[in-house]
Amino acid sequence: MHKTLQKHYMILVLPGLGLFVVLGLAVPLSLIPPGRLMLPSGVHITVFVAAAVTAIAGPLFLRTLFAHSVRYRRHVDAAMFLTFQRRLLQISQTTVYLAFAAVVCEFPRFYSAAIVLMGLYAMYYHYPSQQRIDFDKKIFRVT
Q: What is the pLDDT of residues 84-113, one digit of tens each?
A: 999 999 999 999 999 988 888 878 889 989
Q: Rounding to the nearest 10 degrees, give the CA dihedral for residues 91, 18, 106, 113.
A: 60
| Alpha-carbon gap, residue 116 to 72, rounded angstroms | 39
Checking phi first, is residue 107 left (phi over 0); if not, alpha (psi -120 to 50) or beta?
beta
- pLDDT at res. 108: 87
Burial of 143 (0-12, 13-18, 19+ CB in 10 A): exposed
- pLDDT at res. 37: 65
- pLDDT at res. 34: 62
The segments of the chain whose pLDDT lies below 70 read 24, 27-28, 33-37
- pLDDT at res. 14: 92
